[in-house]
Amino acid sequence: TIQRKGKLGFVNILYVESMKCMALMADAIGRDSHAYRSEYESLKKNVLSALHDTSGAYFRTQAGDTRLNTVASVLGARFLLEP
């Protein structure tokens, strides 16, 4: 088997999306969503910077890695990139 160390790209992308969902849920129940929105914006910026390869238009497996992460690329395109 191939073992990968560190957090995989798709886990980070899911975490970013979860902060966005938490902000939406906080709004829906009348709670302050500022902390969730702030965390979402910060995480999104950091994940895009570390994992998105704009020249190849894909998401990496982890920061500093050049391998394509298929699941991260699909989820990243869906959740993090602007149309």
pLDDT by residue (tens digit) across 21-42? 999 999 999 999 999 999 999 9
pTM for this one?
0.85
| Token pair belonging to 4 | 């990968």
61-65: average pLDDT: 85
* Side-chain half-sphere exposure of 75, counting CA atoms within 13 A: 21
What pLDDT, on the 0 to 100 scale, is given for residue 3? 59
Alpha-helix runs per DSSP H in the chain: 9-28, 34-51, 70-79
Q: Which long-range contacts (C-beta less than 8 Å, at least 24 apart) are formed by 72-75?
A: 72/8, 72/9, 72/10, 72/12, 72/13, 75/10, 75/13, 75/14, 75/17
pLDDT at residue 82, as a whole number: 87
